[in-house]
Amino acid sequence: MAERITQERIAEHVRRLGDEYPPIELDSVDREVRAPEVVARRFGHVIDYLARVELDVDRNVLELLVLLPDVHEVDRAFYADVWQPQEIQHGLILDRLQQDIGRPAAEPELDVAVKIKLLGALAHIPAIQDVVRLIYYLTGASTERQAVLAYNVIHGGMTELGEAAIAETIIAPIRRQEPGHFAFYRMSATELVQSGALRPWQLHLTRVLRQRSYNLVGTNGQDRYRAQMGAVVETLGFDTDLERYAREVGRIEAQLLWAHRQGMAYPPYVLAALRESIDLYRERGFAA
Ligand SMILES: [Fe+2]
Ligand SMILES: [Fe+2]
């Protein structure tokens, strides 16, 4: 990797995101839906999933308060001043859309899991804090990439259905804000690894923790969400080339964490998580 990333560059990126991408206002949305039942049939459960995941941002912020007791100013500025204000609007807008097409409101998860609290207790140890930071960045890079890919397909799908208002005043503005989130996590993870601040044992621990606890976006370690995600992956057509999707989602992590395994295009646990989600959905449907 030739690209050299400095903390100043990351801080500049965060400032720019804040300046150029204000949170999307609810009033900016054109709520015309031409055929609500068609949209619901085609994308209803996908919108449900994304609305809930976007609204989960408030729990994610509580988790970060636990996980990053010694939070760096750039990280704080990103999640508190840029990311949360943007994501919560994505959630509110999608939640209203899902109700406009006749589906129930989203039920975000607002309780911080015990596992997170335990990790948070350990995160007071500085060496563990750095491991947790790297996991936070890798998780962010993976989940934001999944968001970008999903909104791309949904934008195309809504356009095809002739739902121009949804495509252009909901999905397109949301989609524009996700790559900046991805870039923040990609740059932050890259900077942390390149800086050499992490000892080999810390990188090893990061790999072990990722292998054991990798989660696709919004699955929160729960089978019911894994099954829902399996359905999302199928509806959006990613299951037709799952390895390609795993590559897209896992590339940064493969480069930063598994560089010693020459030629690894994605960590195997990414593909395993995708297969598990799809299997759960095929076996149990939404009742998992
Ligand atoms: Fe979002
Ligand atoms: Fe995002």
For residue range 204-214, list pLDDT tens digits in order.
Answer: 999 999 999 99
* pLDDT over 70 at 179, yes or no: yes
Are 195 and 9 a contacting pair, CB within 8 Å? no
pLDDT at 2: 54
Q: How confident is the model at residue 288 (pLDDT cuts 50, 70, 90)?
A: low
Residues 142-165, mean pLDDT to the nearest whole number: 98
pLDDT in tens, 227-248: 999 999 999 999 999 999 999 9
Ligand 2 centre from 179 Cα, in Å? 8
* pLDDT over 60 at 1, yes or no: no
Ligand 1 centre from 181 Cα, in Å? 9
Residues 45-74, mean pLDDT to the nearest whole number: 96
Residues 130-155, mean pLDDT to the nearest whole number: 98
Q: Is the dihedral of CA 239, 269, 110, 134 positive or negative?
A: negative
Ligand 1 centre from 233 Cα, in Å? 17
Q: Which of 111, 141, 147 is nearest to 256 (CA)?
A: 141
Residue 255 tokens, joined: 């480069």
- State how far the alpha carbon of 154 is from the alpha carbons of 54, 150, 162, in Å: 15, 6, 12
Ligand 2 centre from 2 Cα, in Å? 26
Ligand 2 centre from 237 Cα, in Å? 21
* pLDDT over 90 at 120, yes or no: yes
Ligand 2 centre from 201 Cα, in Å? 31
* pLDDT over 80 at 149, yes or no: yes
Closest-approaching ligand to the CA atom of 50? 1
Ligand 1 centre from 201 Cα, in Å? 34
Closest-approaching ligand to the CA atom of 51? 1
Residues 104-130, mean pLDDT to the nearest whole number: 94
Closest-approaching ligand to the CA atom of 145? 2
Global pTM value: 0.96
Ligand 2 centre from 55 Cα, in Å? 11
21's CB contacts (< 8 A; 6+ apart) are 82, 86, 176, 177, 180
* pLDDT over 90 at 48, yes or no: yes
Q: How confident is the model at residue 107 (pLDDT cuts 50, 70, 90)?
A: very high
Closest-approaching ligand to the CA atom of 90? 1
Q: How confident is the model at residue 261 (pLDDT cuts 50, 70, 90)?
A: confident
Residue 42 tokens, joined: 């085609």
* pLDDT over 90 at 262, yes or no: no
Ligand 1 centre from 23 Cα, in Å? 10
The whole-angstrom separation of Cα 241 and Cα 36 is 30
Q: How confident is the model at residue 148 (pLDDT cuts 50, 70, 90)?
A: very high
16's CB contacts (< 8 A; 6+ apart) are none
pLDDT-above-70 percentage for the chain: 98
Ligand 2 centre from 100 Cα, in Å? 23
Closest-approaching ligand to the CA atom of 82? 2
- State how far the alpha carbon of 165 is from the alpha carbons of 30, 63, 142, 235, in Å: 6, 35, 29, 21
The whole-angstrom separation of Cα 113 and Cα 249 is 24
Domains and CATH numbers, the chain: 8-287 (1.10.620)
Which protein residues have their CB within 5 A of the ion that is ligand 1? 54, 87, 90
